[in-house]
Structure 1
Amino acid sequence: MATDSFVSDGAHSGRRSLVWPYAILLGFAGLLVLLQSLPLVLPIGAMYWDALIYYDAIGRIAQGQHPVIDFFVPVGPLEYYLAALSNALFPEAQPVLLTQWIWVPVTFPVMALILWDVSARGMKPALGLLLPFLLVTALPFNVIDFYPYPGTDAFGIYNRHGAHLIYLVAATVLFVRSPVIQTIVLSVVLMSAAFCKITAFLAAGPILLFALLLGRIRILTAVATAVICIVVAGAIELVTGMVSLYVRDIIVLATENTGALLPRFLTAASQHFNVLGAGGLLACVLLIAALAHQPAAEARDEGNRLVRILDADWFWVGLLLACGLFYETQNTGSHAFIMVWPALLAILLKPTAGYGRFAIPILALVAFTAAPDISTMLHKAARTAAVAPGYVRVDAPDLGPIGQASVKDVFAEQAERKRQIYIEHRDTYEAIAETEALPSFLQFSDHDYQFMLLEDMQGAAAAVKRLEESRGRRFETVLNLDFANPFPFILDMKGSYHVAIGADPYRALPPMTEKTFEAVAQTDLVLAPVCPVLHSRKLLTAHYAEALAGHEKIELTPCFDAYLRRAAP
């Protein structure tokens, strides 16, 4: 029961099957363009500041800087170039929507090529691949709840992008038959995955390896794809030097994230046990069904029998689950297991009679494998849409689209109460930070914290403009001693060269170099948020302390300190 033996519902319809899939794809693309053209306000979700990292890069790119070359990035540089392009096209787009959809200019044409090949064998496989892909592309929600209250998910957006690219790899391997289309699609997707998130590229590796070994990808196709990728990467390296620098940054990140792989596997497996449990059981039942239906003649041909046993539904379900689990260890909660859907679709497209007495258990397990993630996203989307009209918008006119966010009124009130406590009892939070504890275990997921962060950024932005007026001085460069630094975008300034964006001092803060030291020392304005004082913020301040020795420290606002570079005489 090889995976490619699905039933065609319209083999004689030819390219007429393309009409509906293409119409849906184009219509959906038009809808995304419309939604990004409107200044929509959406509810804040856990870790909204993950979207702000992109605006740090957008602001820097607008000022002539380049990811990897001029500043350290936690994931691939193409993430940020696409974000800058989207912001140029849709300057009023809501940040979560903009960042969720930055890969559409790549993924939709790739999906169109896949549809061109697949639709020749019927409408069902074409729509079966297209509709789930559009759903996960459209909805800015993770499949894990990081907070009990509804809101859009900005956490790990880049992980969702990588998962969508791996989905295209799985769809190509299992459904595309044209060597030319396979070569084009795999070349585009693999280069995209490498420059999106390197772990997406690595997770796709076993899929491609077994596809080659089992004959789903021809050797010539594999060689052509490899040559294209090497030539493109080589050209980028010759022109920009970016590839070698990117590899260096990957090594730095890998060095800072060693020793935690097994706990991450356990965490990812426990969080997604609903999918992994059902999917693993499905693979086992499929294997039993495959062995039970092996003809006696095939049993005498051991080589052929081995290939048939491996190139079967049970193997692809199991392999895609394993690749999804590996990918999910890098940032839990994303769309990793959507890559299993092409294998599930192949099962659904076959006559159930081929599974004999195992048909009903197999169909039930397919449903249990596919349903949890999709139902979770739809549920979160419905909750968020229902409550959004009654939420309180952030009052932050200087933040531009970054301020197009809202929270439940109780969180807005909570933010105001907490801010006063943070200001009046700063020493208490200094003491908490010294213990390396957080004021709240869910500090960065708390909606009131993310809301307050935006309001405090608004206060800081307004205060910087007043400071420039009072001192008659224009600040040219800015750095924020926090995880996210959208101030280059907000204030239309250059960000400090050679510093990390998405500066997590525990995972993504490279060692101080001479270039970084000089860049920070020459930065005109360094901001330090203190509402509240946090251990991570203290670590960042300590990391750059020597470079800031020549700066003047002032209280910019009650929630922001500032370090001003002393002007040359």
Structure 2
Amino acid sequence: MKQSAPVLALAAVLLALPLALLTTLHQPMGAMMWDLYIYLDATNRIAGGQIPSIDFFAPVGALGYYLFAGAIWLFPNGHPLFLSAWSLLVVTVPLMAVVLIDVQRRSTALAFALLAPFLLYSLLPFNIGNFYPYPGSEGFGIYNRQVCQLLYVLAAALVFMKDCRKLCGGVAASMLALFFIKITGVVAGALMCGMALAAGRLSLKRSVIAASIFTAILVGLELATGVVSAYIGDILALLLLNDETLLPRLLKAASMNIGVSLATAGLCLALVLTDLDLVRQRLRNAASAPSPKTVSAILDFPFVWISVFLLAGLFFESQNTGSQALIFLYPLLLATGLDHYRRHGNTVRSGIVAVLALAVVIPPAVAVVQKASRAWVGMLGTVRLDHQNLKTMGAFAIRPSFAERARLMEAMFVENRKAFDALAVAGEPFSILLFSDFDFQWAWLHNADRAISAVRAYEARHGIRFETIMSIDFVNPFPWLMDRQAPRNIAIGADPTRAVPPPGDAENDAIRTVDLALMPTCPATPTQTALLALYAPALLPGHVRVSLTPCYDAFIRNGLLPTSDGSQRP
């Protein structure tokens, strides 16, 4: 029983989570909640029969969307923030359990040491980096956090698993999940697996088997649905929209994670100096008798492993805003520290290595715990969002001062609309932190709620029903909120600067036939202005623009508008 305690603890946590999903636990308002709303949009599209990448442009893989859709079907009252974070456990828990079963046979303490960080990062839906000064929920970077958690499981398997067959299966399953969460994640995973192969930790035979399983499943899915080629097509389109070279992005990722990066570099230097004689010896062996074995012996040094894992992590972070960056270094550093202690004992050198290793792994954990604590303790003294139409999406609370500022700023936006419209046309938001500001996020939800009420009133007044609804905004949760349909072929997560290719025939046809398009105006932003310019050639000729509320405009398809004699226009 003691030997199986880590797996039993994992199972107990998993069985307890539904208790937090049976009712809607309000969460503190946070910055940039957009990814959360994207999941709701995707859930509605999937329920309507749409397939990501086939029926609509998606910047990431479909797995996260399907996991969330299943979770919200099982727990309709669960807060979307928790559902988005915990739905990945369907994938990571079985994989982590296999690792723990293998490890706990040798050491229960070691298994618990691997389990604790996994649960910390999986259960607390917070990013490591700071993107806003005030504490709150973090409904952005969700895909990135999921990739980091998968990479953690993969790293634990590569470093600690002894059962070669189970390792082979775990690698294949992890890489498939990474591929269908976010494609940059599978590239990072491939670098880590390549390191394990080069160092002799993962045999060539097992690597080929894992790659064959991975490829066979992709081919099967492609033949059955066409989703793989469609997904790759979306990624290629994204690359064309984002033409920035890799080096500046890598430098940006390193600077955003400078503390961990410097500590990791210092650790690698300490490991080189500690084992300098052994490094020289292996180099001489490889030079005098070059062979796969002698080369692998060189690559199997801990500092080489750590350097490659760090590079993989920085590559992944180069494409991200918000993440649990580099948490997958922990299993490798744990193994490195234990190995170093076994070989060198309780020495000053071991102490230096331990301190540097802790400097890598402690700050991310502290950051997540601190963020969660500040956000949830900050719920004291907050007011809940009053809404009629937002379902669980509106289960947020905020400090009264932010709610009051939201009310005052909305009046300012309405009274000075022309000025803010001109600012948006110039390509400048009202504030650099506009999309992060709590009052803006709060007002956005309020106005979305009012817009839905206005749409329902319009429908009742004119005896019509808008079946397909799109949004001239980054997100479109309205079909999910109103139990309607989103048009096919319209991009999800519509960022015109990096995630919306120029509309083609399919997109234009969908725009022409959409019943209703909603556009927020308090205030107008460059995102909405750019999207309207993209959609205008197909949208404006066949739709009439009306002021739905002081903060929302609507584009209504001509065929749905009543004529003077009460009939509908053709």
One-letter identity of the residue aligned with 1:237: E
Supply the distance in 2 between the matched residues of 1:425 and 1:436 (Cα, whole angstroms): 17
* 1:75–1:196 CA contact under 8 A, matched in 2: yes
Deviations 1:90-131 (A, max 9, x none): 111112111111211010001011112111211122112111
**1:221 lines up with 2:206 in the alignment:** yes
Distance 1:470 1:509 in 2: 35
Give the match's secondary structure for 2:556: strand
Give yes or no for contact 1:17–1:120 (8 Å, CA) kept in 2.
Answer: no
Name whichever of 429-438 and 414-423 sits farther off.
429-438
1:553 equivalent in alignment to 2:542: no
1:46 aligns with 2:37: no
Residue among 542, 549, 555 paired with 1:563: 555
Amino acid paired to 1:559: C
Which ranges in structure 2 are unaligned for 5 or more consecutive residues? 560-568
The within-5 A match list for 1:294-443 is 300=285, 303=290, 306-350=295-339, 352=341, 354-355=343-344, 356-443=347-434
Could you tell me whether the CA contact under 8 Å between 1:36 and 1:93 is conserved in 2?
A: yes
1:348 shift after superposition: 3.1
Tell me whether 1:89 sits opposite 2:74 in the alignment.
Answer: yes
| Code of the aligned partner of 1:437 | E
Alignment of structure 1 residues 187-198 onto 2, 5 Å: 187-198=172-183
Q: Distance in 2 between matches of 1:307 and 1:128?
A: 28
Residues 298 and 74 (structure 1 numbering): CA distance in 2 closer, same or farther, change over 3 Å?
closer
Q: Does 1:199 align with 2:184?
A: yes
Distance 1:353 1:176 in 2: 19
Q: What is the DSSP-based 3-state SS (H/G/I as helix, E as strand, rest coil) of the residue aligned with 2:470? A: strand
The answer (yes or no) to whether the contact 1:321–1:337 under 8 Å persists in 2 is yes
Aligned length: 554
Q: 3-state SS of the aligned residue for 1:556? A: strand
Q: Structure 1 residue 265: deviation in Å?
A: 2.1
C-alpha change, 1:17 and 1:184, in structure 2 (3 Å) is farther
Cα displacement string for residues 217-273 of structure 1 (whole angstroms, at most 9, x for unaligned residues):
122211111111111111111111111111110100111111253332222211211
1:11 equivalent in structure 2: none
What is the CA distance between 1:27 and its match in structure 2?
1.4
Name the TM-score, length of structure 1 as normaliser.
0.94
Paired letter, 1:552:
V
- Inter-partner Cα distance in structure 2 for 1:483 and 1:224: 42
Kindly report which structure 2 residues correspond to 1:32-111, keeping only aligned pairs within 5 A, or say none: 32-111=17-96
Amino acid at match of 1:423: V
Secondary structure, aligned partner of 2:327:
helix
> Structure 1 stretch 502-511 or stretch 173-182: which is displaced more?
173-182
1:456 corresponds to: 447
SS in 1 for 2:554: strand
Please give the alpha-carbon distance, in whole angstroms, between the structure 2 residues aligned to 1:305 and 1:229. 30
2:157 alignment partner in structure 1: 172
Summarize deviations over 1:378-437 as a string: whole Å, max 9, x none: 111111121113212111231101001111111111110011111110001012112211
SS in 2 for 1:46: coil
Is 2:256 aligned against 1:275? no
**Structure 1: how far apart are the matches of 2:440 and 2:16?**
32
**Which piece of structure 1 moves more, 412-421 or 291-300?**
291-300
Q: What are structure 1's unaligned runs of at least 5 residues?
A: 1-15
Query: For residues 268-315 of structure 1, what are the alpha-carbon distances to aligned partners after superposition, in whole Å with 9 as ceiling and x for unaligned?
Result: 211211100011100111112122356969955655554333212212
Match of 2:566 in 1: none
Structure 1 vs Structure 2 CA RMSD: 1.7
Q: What is the SS of the residue equivalent to 1:564?
A: strand
One-letter amino acid of the structure 1 residue matched with residue 519 of structure 2:
A
Q: 1:18 to 1:197 in 2, by over 3 A?
A: farther
Q: Which amino acid aligns with 1:342?
A: P
Aligned 8 A contact 1:63 1:494 in 2: yes
Equivalent residue in structure 2 for 1:517, among 504, 508, 529: 508
Q: Residues 477-516 of structure 1: matches in 2 within 5 Å?
A: 477-516=468-507
Take 1:227 and 1:363, find their aligned partners in 2: how far apart are those partners?
A: 39
Q: Structure 1 CA distance, aligned partners of 2:462 and 2:196?
A: 65
CA offset at residue 162 of structure 1?
Answer: 0.8
Change (3 A) 1:234 1:351: closer
Deviation (angstroms), 1:177: 1.6
Contact 2:4 2:104 in 1 (8 A): no
* Correspondence for 1:4: none
The answer to whether the 8 Å contact 2:68/2:87 transfers is yes
Task: Pick closer, same or farther for the CA change 1:20–1:556 going to 2, 3 Å.
Answer: same
- Aligned partners of 1:281, 1:297: CA distance in 2, in Å? 22
Tell me the SS of whatever aligns to 1:545: helix
1:288 matches 2:273: yes
Q: How does 1:123-134 map to 2 (within 5 A)?
A: 123-134=108-119
Checking the alignment, whether the CA contact within 8 Å between 1:18 and 1:115 is kept in structure 2 is no
Deviations 1:326-381 (A, max 9, x none): 11111143112001001111023236262354111111101111111111111111
Distance 1:365 1:324 in 2: 18
Per-residue Cα deviation, 1:476-527 (whole angstroms, up to 9, x for no partner)? 1000110111011001111011010100000000121101101111000100
Q: Percent identity?
A: 38
Task: Report the residue type matching 2:431 in the other structure.
Answer: S
Q: Is the 8 A contact 1:291 1:309 kept in 2?
A: no
Residue 253 of structure 2 aligns to which amino acid in structure 1?
A
Question: Which residue of the partner structure matches residue 534 of structure 2?
Answer: 543
The match for 2:525 is 534
User: What residue number does 1:12 align with?
Assistant: none
Instruction: Give, in whole Å, the separation in 2 of the partners of 1:249 and 1:148.
Output: 34
Matching residue of 1:13: none
| Kept after mapping to 2: 8 A contact 1:438/1:535 | yes
CA contact 1:353–1:359 (8 Å) conserved in 2: no
2:379 is paired with a residue of what secondary structure? helix
SS at match of 1:528: strand
The aligned counterpart of 2:564 is none
Conserved? CA contact 2:489–2:507, under 8 Å: yes
Tell me the CA shift for residue 471 of structure 1. 0.9
Task: Give the partner amino acid of 1:164.
Answer: Q
Equivalent pair of 1:49/1:450 in contact (CA under 8 Å) = no
